[in-house]
Structure 1
Amino acid sequence: MAAVRLRKAFRYPEDSDEDREELDEEEQEQLIEQLQRQNDARNAQYHIIFTSIPLISTIAFLPSVFSASSLMEWLLSLLGLSSLLATAYTMRLSPLHPDRKGKKAITAENERLARLQSAILFGNGAVCLLLAVAYFLVGTGSTYTIRPVLYLIPGAMLAAILLARDTMLSVDLSALKDLQYRYKGA
């Protein structure tokens, strides 16, 4: 005999209110605090990792800085080294939390620091572009002791750091805090 199959009627997820438990105000606060702690810990880990990656990458340029075969190779290697150090500096000084409007007092020192950081970022981008152009001009048949493909490392590191920094700052739990009191007493 064929097996008997019982079918259940389809229900939309919002129709099943009896399965959902509401959180009271204290549970909401605890959950938001737990999520904030997890986010802070993860951001701190990523901050350390993405600061150390450009610092480790400087090893690729150190031999050619100390034993360059020409002045041009020495200069390009020094630019690559300084670009990687600036990238690590950019990641190190980036904030771990998103800037909440109106929460941070604007001082002259903060404004100067922000201008310095944007100038370093702009200069670093220009150096990365110069190194990419040098890679295409030098070519693979050069007599340099450094491989020209290494000139692309600073630009790749800068792009990765900027992407990681924006991703870290995109997580903002303040929207959860705003929703928390809408359902107060639930």
Structure 2
Amino acid sequence: MASIRLRKAFHYPNDSDDDEHSREELDEEEQDRMIDQLKMLNNRRNSKYSVFFAAIPFLSSFTNVPPILSESSSLCERCLSFVSILSLLATAYTMKFLPFHRPDSRGKIPIMAVDARTRVQWCLLPMNAIICTLLALTYALCPRAESWLIIQPITYLVPGAMFVAVLIARKVMLSVDLKELEDLRYTYKGA
């Protein structure tokens, strides 16, 4: 005799009387505790990523120190190395200290009090982007056959690569928004 298959009656997920399909609802305090734990975990993870992604450009800036200290390097090479160091330090500052601005539901960034420090921070990203572009153009226009530079011209691409990596990391860190989770809270009416 062939094996017998028993059919189970179809139940909508809300109509199920089985304990295995039912889920325990969270009351308001449990929801708040869960959201606070998630916020704390997110903030801890963001602070670790901020330190990590700030340390990489900071440490890579040391590769541009030898041409500045070397007597055999040209003035142009010293200037380019100095600008590269400034760009990498600005990138590290951007990752570690620049505040995150979450846009509201309509995509607008909230207006904040403007002081001298805020103005410098607003100018930091565009100026760093311009510096990285100029360094990339220097790499593109620098003749590769001539070795009049002590360091390889490809090191002038490092500030731009670090800047892009930091901007992507900040974007990913900003994409985790627990405000939407707070909006999904429900009011549990217990018996």
Which TM class, normalised by the smaller chain length? 0.7 to 0.9
1:38 aligns with 2:21: no
Measure how far apart 1:40 and its partner are. 0.7
After superposition, give the CA deviation of every residue in 1:99-151 in whole Å (9 maximum; x if it has no partner): 779xx883343xx3332112111111111001000101113223211011111
Q: What amino acid does structure 2 have at the position aligned with 1:36?
A: K
Larger radius of gyration: 2
* C-alpha spacing 1:141/1:173, structure 2 compared with 1 (3 Å): same
| CA root-mean-square deviation | 2.7
Which SS does the other structure have where 2:184 is aligned?
helix
Q: Number of matched residues?
A: 181
For the residues of structure 1 that align with 2:10 and 2:94, how far apart are their CA atoms?
53
1:133 aligns with 2:143: no
1:35-74 matched pairs, under 5 angstroms: 35-67=38-70, 69-74=73-78
* C-alpha spacing 1:150/1:105, structure 2 compared with 1 (3 Å): closer
Runs of 4 or more above 4 Å deviation: 1-18
Report if aligned partners of 1:129, 1:155 keep a CA contact under 8 Å in 2: yes
Q: Normalising to structure 2: TM-score of the pair?
A: 0.81
Measure how far apart 1:69 and its partner are. 2.2
After superposition, give the CA deviation of every residue in 1:155-180 in whole Å (9 maximum; x if it has no partner): 00001111111211221211222221
Unpaired runs of at least 5, structure 2: none
Unpaired runs of at least 5, structure 1: none
Higher relative contact order (CA 8 A, sep 6+): 1
* C-alpha spacing 1:16/1:161, structure 2 compared with 1 (3 Å): farther
For the residues of structure 2 that align with 1:19 and 1:173, how far apart are their CA atoms?
26
Identity %: 46
For the residues of structure 2 that align with 1:72 and 1:53, how far apart are their CA atoms?
25
* C-alpha spacing 1:27/1:130, structure 2 compared with 1 (3 Å): same
Q: Normalising to structure 1: TM-score of the pair?
A: 0.83
Higher helix share: 1
Report if aligned partners of 1:135, 1:148 keep a CA contact under 8 Å in 2: yes
